[in-house]
Structure 1
Amino acid sequence: MSFLLQPRCQRVLLLGCLGCLYFLLCGCGGLKYTKRVQPPISVERVLAQLVEHRRGFEDLRARVSVSISREGKRQSFSANLLFDSSGRIRIEGVGFADIPYFFLAADPNRICLYEPAQQRLICGESSSQNLERLVGLELQPESAVAIFSGNLPASVSFPPLRGVFFRADQDGSVEFFSDSDQTWYRLWVDRQKGVMVRMETKSADKKPLLTVRFEDYQMVDGYYWPRQIECSLPSRVDLKIRYKQFSLNSGISDHAFHLPYPPGTVIENIGSLW
């Protein structure tokens, strides 16, 4: 008598074993797949991380490539960029053979644009309207500095007086209203790094103001720096900045923010500074 099962019996036995295994796993409370759900994101926790990140920035020297699109017309150029946490900016646009063709300086008090070819200096009060007139970006200079360094504007109060939080397993964002600047903020964050990857702002009546994407973060001296930033405004202005070379917190003198225009330059005023 042979103890080997016939092929047909082998198939029956195999099917029986598979049926028992399926019954054990599914019918008797065996192994089940459960989706891992992350805990909800707290507005207060996220803002604490972002405020801590903002404290790590003092100043920047950088070589950048800039692309600006206004109503379908695109302009690209390279620039040398300086700014610091007090809201001061100096941009030197350079062309062929690194010859400067414009200088922009801004701080919380005034904005000036100098064009060497025309020997023309345009100056006015520091405001989002004047910055838009000169470069097409409707932001306060100090807000521009904060955003271009991967931070929330300094005008954002902490903690917010009103906050709404979303679960991380939905879209990983938080939304809150900042009473200090009457603006709604919605942030997508990298909680491990404590930085923003996207920011949307709206007015108090929910009209879109600004969308910013932060990409390619790099750790520099303990600070996460976004090497590429893209901004979009409802006025059909898109701005992309790519940091090529940069140094952080090296100390920048006050003189470095001055514009190099010669005596006798014609000054045109915008706003009511003079």
Structure 2
Amino acid sequence: MTWTSDVPPPKASITILDWPRILWRAVLLAGVVFGGLIIKMALRLVERPLFGVRRPMTPFITQAVCRIALKILRLRLTVQGQPMAMRGAMVANHASWLDIFVLNAADRVFFVSKAEVAQWPGIGWLARATGTVFIRRDRREAPQQKLLFEARLRAGHRLLFFPEGTSSDSQRVLPFKSTLFAAFFAPELRDLLHIQPVSVKYIAPDGADPRFYGWWGDMDFGHHLLRILAAPRQGRVEVLFHPPIAVTDMPDRKAMTLACESAVRAGFEAER
């Protein structure tokens, strides 16, 4: 499913004067991302034999890379609240490919993503290297996905997924879907896990379209990336960690879905 809007997205206005800025930011960003990936893969050669599926060291590399990337883009990140220390997962609203950098910079997490992302040039490779869990939104595959979730949760991984199932224009929270919450209610896991709602709010640069950072519908990734790189002044992004919700406090996945959506929506709409 892809979210679309009747209002056309903002058009990219890139001039010849923007290209030096685009090029130096792109070179720095590529150097940091792929340099970090090389370090991460080298560290995995030690980490894998010692810890198996667990990754106690390499997530720190991912977090450092994402923080530096936001500095290069000059996108200011502010964080309120604390990432939970308990085992479980986080859920957040989804506005852009930038969410990957923003949420990894805010905490060390493993993303849950639709299977198609694994085939995207560049991004798919990076996602696989950082331990992303890929799923197909097909009810017939729900049992296998549930087992995969359980395995990662037992390994101590803190998963993060987007229950909206698609990105938006950054100006709204879409209804949450309950399918992915089912794994947390497995009898052998539910007493151990918490789910933490997270609100992500993008504030566009002064004078720009409020939807500047949103990436949705059939928007081309390349053009969107160029527009972000070209901006002489960036806006900011706010991440709000809400209190974690114990799985045992909810009767079923639908109640948990509603509780998480309500928390994310309240944090997103505050002061808007």
The TM-score, its normalising length taken from structure 2, stands at 0.22
Larger Rg: 1
Which structure's residues are more often strand, by fraction?
1
Q: Which has the higher helix share?
A: 2
Structure number with greater CO (CA < 8 Å, separation at least 6) is: 2
TM-score normalized by the length of structure 1? 0.22
